[in-house]
């Protein structure tokens, strides 16, 4: 599974790279702002995108909306320090399938697997994502 990370924090990107590596997922690219993330999304066509909410140029919900307009079949996961309960409705309207708190990083793998299992495209490509 090819993953795009959109987060302005090098520390968070490093953590996400480590998680991806432990699951044998490939980080196809990283972006430290929303516009760069959208450009890489369009060019690289990743299987999954992890998006920070607080980016320097635009918020992650807007990034997700733009990505969904390009291709609404790719699972988008919003990863944030803010209260996820207050963001879920807006995130879903933007095409984001999961909202996960950075305070609960241990739930990220479960959230990604849920997003993948809800995606018919990825289920066909990746019958067992735990391999």
pLDDT tens string 3-28: 999 999 999 999 889 988 888 889 99
Question: Does the residue 124 lie in any domain?
Answer: no
Residue 129 has a pLDDT of 39
Binned at pLDDT 50, 70 and 90, residue 94 comes out as very high
Tally of structural domains, the chain: 1
Q: Name the residue range of residue 66's domain.
A: 2-114
Question: Does the residue 100 lie in any domain?
Answer: yes
pTM of the model: 0.87
pLDDT exceeds 50 at position 91: yes
Question: Does the residue 99 lie in any domain?
Answer: yes
Question: Any idea what the CATH number is for the domain that residue 108 is in?
Answer: 3.40.50.2300
Cα–Cα separations (whole angstroms), residue 125 to 23, 61, 116, 117, 120 = 16, 26, 10, 11, 9
For residues 88-102, one letter each, b for 16 or more C-beta atoms within 10 angstroms of the residue's C-beta and e for the rest, the string is eeebeebbbbbbbbb
How does pLDDT run across 29-82, given as a tens digit for each residue? 999 999 999 999 999 999 999 999 999 999 999 999 999 999 999 999 998 887
């Amino acid at each position: 599974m090819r993953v795009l990370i959109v987060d302005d924090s090098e520390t968070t990107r490093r953590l996400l790279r480590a998680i991806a590596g432990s699951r044998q997922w490939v980080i196809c690219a990283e972006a430290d702002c929303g516009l760069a993330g959208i450009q890489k999304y369009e060019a690289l066509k990743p299987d999954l995108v992890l998006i920070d909410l607080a980016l320097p140029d635009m918020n992650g919900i807007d990034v997700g909306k733009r990505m969904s307009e390009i291709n609404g079949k790719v699972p988008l996961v919003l990863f944030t320090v803010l209260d996820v309960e207050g963001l879920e409705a807006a995130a879903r309207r933007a095409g984001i399938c999961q909202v996960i708190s950075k305070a609960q990083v241990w739930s990220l793998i479960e959230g990604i697997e849920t997003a993948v299992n809800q995606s018919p495209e990825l289920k066909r490509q990746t019958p067992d994502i735990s391999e």
